[in-house]
Structure 1
Amino acid sequence: MHAYLITAKPGRLQRAARAVGRCALRVLALAVMAGLGAVVFTVRCARPVINYLATRAAWLELWAASVTGIGPVGAAVGSGLTDEFVREFHRARTSATAGGVR
Structure 2
Amino acid sequence: MEVYDDPASERVTATFELPGVKIADLSIDVKQGTLVVLGQWLCRYPRTRQHPSVMPEVSAEDAGTPTAESSTRFFPCRELRYGYFHRRLRLSPGVNKITAKLEDRLLTVT
For Structure 1 versus Structure 2, the TM-score category normalised by the shorter chain is under 0.3
Q: Which has the higher contact order (CA 8 A, sep 6+)?
A: 2
Report which of the two structures shows the higher radius of gyration computed on alpha carbons: 1
Normalising by structure 1, we get a TM-score of 0.22
Normalising by structure 2, we get a TM-score of 0.21
Bigger fraction of residues in helix: 1
Bigger fraction of residues in strand: 2
